[in-house]
A and B are shown apart, each in its own frame.
Chain A
Amino acid sequence: MGRDARRGGRLMVLLDALAAWFADPAHWAGPNGIPTRLLEHVALSGISMLIAGAIALPLGLWIGHTGRGATVAINAANLGRAIPSLALIGLAAPITAAFDPQLGFRVYPTLIAMIVLALPPILVNASAGVSEVDRDLVEAARGMGMRERQVLARVEIPIALPVILAGLRSAGVQIVATLTLGAIFGGGGLGNYLVLGIAQNDVGQVFGGVVLVAALALLVEGGFALLGRALTPVPLRAAEGGEHRGRALEGRAAG
């Protein structure tokens, strides 16, 4: 009884600290203010996503379409998944610092790590999504005189879209969450509140950062879910995404 009361009391203390931290107008201005850090976080995530997508999407679609290099790519992607993100940032830091002592120890390691982190889900989902489109359908498309690009653009991508988007979504959420670690290496973003808060033993700041990161991640998740719904052709809507697990597309049954 007393224990529960104590626990409840601690929770109250935590929420109070959180509310106080958010309420303090000083935390909404300046280079360490919430808008700035949020913007940094979003910008870094966005740039990582764009670069990762620009590399992994075309590659994944090509692998899925041709069936070439699938095993190599999947294995490389899994290897990339196995490396802890923190280690990745730590590895990248001395290298980028060697090139650019100014920024090298701040943004770039995080950026590189985030890109590497985002490549596997995008690549694997794009290639698996496309390669799992019913081969009979692809042959029908070819047999009617579509060029390879048309087969990809008009048949394979639309049908694989839920799976492709699921890859992007999982990459996005992972980036937003993991980018927090970049602050350890001076990378900016919402992670700074965690690093500083722990150093200053400021509970309100730590949990303020956590709440902001979580909210952003949920927003990304929800945003991609909505995008997926909007872009998925009506009859394939049943085949909602989710991280790809080699599940057959439900759309195939409709063929």
Chain B
Amino acid sequence: MFADPKVPSSAGRDATGMCAATVEFRHVSKSYDRRDGPAAVDDLTFTVPAGSVCVLVGPSGCGKTTSLKMVNRLIEPTGGQILVDGTDVAGEEVTALRRRIGYVIQQVGLFPHRTVGENVTTVPRLLGWSREQQRERAEELLGLVGLDPARYRDRYPAQLSGGERQRVGVARALAADPPLMLMDEPFAAVDPIVRERLQNEFLRIQAELAKTILFVTHDIDEAIKMGDLVAVMQAGGHLAQFAPPDEILARPASDFVARFVGADRGLKRLSLSRIGALPLHQAVTAVAGEPVGDARQRSLADPFPFLLLIDRAGRPLGWLPDRDVPADGIVDERLAIPASPLLERETTLKDALSMMIAADVQAGIVVDPAGRVLGLLTMEALGAAGRAGAAGRAGAGAALRRAERRPAAARPPAAAP
């Protein structure tokens, strides 16, 4: 059902270079108390397509960890089936199954008596890879998670910071290139700043590897950020909603989901989409230091009450109120109100809104990587986007991944001509 795990690294992938498995929960239930005790997981049914990140989110004790552990059979379900690539895991040899599934636990669980390198190659060693293969793999993985192999390979876990340990934990789970990863609150034990960085790196790595990932968290913001799909669970192990993040925010299936995602779900939706997807208002511009031409007429004709001054390269210099635009002569840069804030295509709508409120302006200037004006993002456009739903349907993770995957050549040239 999986690619041959004996083959290290990138071998054993399919034609697209990806290595991922579909996961299907079919009426999965678990009660720890055999008799009619309360269910920890109750009739869970959902399918995670290959290569996507599914986040299980819900309040403490709702059965997230239990659901996860039933996939690698650390816990056996009392009802239903879990299929990985169409094969029931219950029929698999349990150690072989586990060696093909990456596993990151909340407490990280690095072996204190083993070096970082040895920790990372735990599964390859179980699979009987050669020393040379193990060494290479450890280097490759430490590099992937942003730890310099030369510096970290021979350290012990006690000699690492919390964030570094989490990275090693992720590297260890990736070691045998598993098509499926189970991650139980992998970033819960670090401070918010490190968590944010780890999340972004995780998304970057996932953009490259495109594994199927079941990711547990109790943080709805993390769920929305990381998930292609979000499974909201509620007490008693019920699946309250299973949908892409935007749909969870736009159409919560129940009061519970609405309360769980929070009163700020409108704002959260804005955090899911990026400016690049929205139509921009074409700014009326005039080049500073050059004849003004018909700029005054154009500016007055345009509903937006300001003219945007730009330099010869197309970079914004400042605003000029319509009335102050001279009818003829040279445009004087010194009359302009400083141009802020500057937004980029990759900026989330939430950040754009925040910046525009902070700067007390009705429109933000969207620029390309070279700093040249692309257009204006107005408050009206932002509001409309918020009401209509995020422009990109998938989560921020997917959006970021799309951006990552875009070949460099397709990006606008970095330098101004």
Contact = CB atoms under 8 A, between A and B. Distances in A.
Where chain A touches its partner, the secondary structure class is helix
A154 B98 CA distance: 17
A140 B103 contact: yes
B99 A144 contact: yes
Nearest to A234: B156
A165 to B, nearest CB: 14
Interface string B10-24: 000000000000000
Contact of A236 (B72, B98, B113, B182): B113
Contacts of B297: none
15 contacts: A134-B107, A139-B74, A141-B122, A143-B72, A145-B96, A145-B97, A145-B98, A147-B95, A159-B112, A233-B112, A236-B113, A251-B113, A254-B112, A255-B107, A255-B111
A235 interface: yes
A4 interface: no
Interface string B112-127: 1110000000110010
A142 B97 CA distance: 11
Interface residues of A, number: 26
Size bin of chain B's contact surface:
20 to 34
B157 interface: yes
Interface string B79-102: 000000000000000011111000
Contacts, number: 79
Interface in A213-255: 233-236, 251-255
A137 B157 CA distance: 13
B110 interface: yes
- Nearest 6 Cβ contacts at the A-B interface: A140-B109, A145-B99, A145-B98, A254-B112, A254-B158, A233-B113
A158 interface: yes
Given A144-B123, A144-B126, A255 B157 contact: yes
B227 to A, nearest CB: 22
A144 B105 CA distance: 11
Contacts of B159: 235
Contacts of A254: 110, 112, 156-158
Contact of B158 (A134, A146, A235): A235
A236 B99 contact: no
B377 interface: no
B112 A255 contact: yes
Given A159-B113, A254-B110, 16 more contacts: A137-B109, A142-B98, A143-B69, A143-B103, A144-B123, A147-B95, A150-B126, A159-B112, A233-B113, A235-B156, A235-B157, A235-B159, A251-B112, A254-B157, A255-B108, A255-B111
